[in-house]
Amino acid sequence: MQSNTAITASSSFQGNALAAFSFLLWGLMPLYYQFLPNADINELLAFRILFSVPFMALVFVLLGRKMPSLAMLKADKKSVLLCGLASLIMCVSWYSFTWAMTHGQVLAASLGFFINPLFAIALGVLFLGDKLSNAQKMAVVLGTCGISYMVYSYGELPWLALSMGSFFALYGLCKKFIRFDSLTSVTVEALLLMPVAALYLIWLWGSDQSVVISSAMSGELSTLLLYIGSAPVTLMPLVFFALAIRATSLSMIGLMQYVEPSLQFLLAVLVFNEHFDQVKAVSFALIWTGLLLCSLEALPKLRKKTKAPV
């Protein structure tokens, strides 16, 4: 019994460490995109999709696993179709995120990830029959108040943050119905979009509209390498997350997920000197309070689950 307990504790610790590392990488991602100011987001997205496939193939080799086979995909066509839908949804979220990263809007990206759990809660109620706890109800109310105050003060919706948060929540909802594991699902998503990305890049090159490819052909490779590097940079955290989710609890992951937007918030304010006024302070404070209530509510359940058996 003690041996099994020790193994379980070790596995849980490794899972927690992997999850924390994945959120750390996601949180530090703005530092990479500072090297791509005012990037062509369409071309960057195409490069990211195209080079995701060889990167994921390398991951499968390193983990000693087989890439998704045609027979496996044919056996579960519904999951393949859902992967296609998930990939399109993720494109919108990733497009918004990348635009924020490369146009001095890291604070908006941080806000998007902070309000993402609120969208996830709402989708869970609407589509999965989830019941809201008192803390979750209060979090939704406070989050709505925070966004409403920002709209009232600025006279416009924070579209960038809302699109990121909502589409990432929709992506998570879609993944609930996909029967492939996380790594396989991400690979299938990239495979489905790869032909479109390749054709788009060929069209850009053929019509002489690709600044990246043109500069590379003239000997300037740094921008091309940065565009290609966007694939492993965005997928590495996902790989660590996929490995972590097998060895730790969803409650722990739910609590640790705020590491990412917290780091992005600190980078935006302290490193990139983005404007953080009273309106944003009040809105963020309301959203943070709601998330804190949910976290405090989850802690007793988490302690109960992680109690070692006697």
Averages of pLDDT over each 10 residues, the chain, 310 residues = 48 75 90 88 94 93 88 91 93 90 90 85 82 84 90 87 88 87 89 95 90 83 92 89 69 72 92 91 90 76 52
Q: What is the pTM of this model?
A: 0.84
Among candidate residues 123, 253, 241, the one with its CA nearest the CA of residue 182: 241
Q: What is the pLDDT of residue 309?
A: 47
CB atoms within 10 A of CB 261: 27
Phi, psi (degrees; rounded to nearest 5) at 175 = -65, -25
The residues spanned by each domain of the chain are: 11-303
Q: Tell me the per-residue pLDDT of 81-130, one tens digit each, with 9 for 90 and over.
A: 999 999 999 899 889 999 999 888 999 999 988 888 888 888 888 887 87
Q: What is the pLDDT of residue 248?
A: 65
**Both structure tokens of 290:** 């709601």
Q: What is the pLDDT of residue 299?
A: 67
DSSP state of 66: P
For 101, 216, 253, the CA distances from 220, given in Å and listed in that order, are: 23, 5, 41
Contacts of 165 (CB under 8 A, 6+ apart): 111, 112, 113, 114, 115, 116, 118, 119
Sign, CA dihedral 43-49-54-60, equals positive
Instruction: Return d(Cα 283, Cα 247) in angstroms, integer.
Output: 35
Q: What is the pLDDT of residue 246?
A: 64
Instruction: Return d(Cα 279, Cα 157) in angstroms, integer.
Output: 13
Sign, CA dihedral 266-270-274-275, equals positive
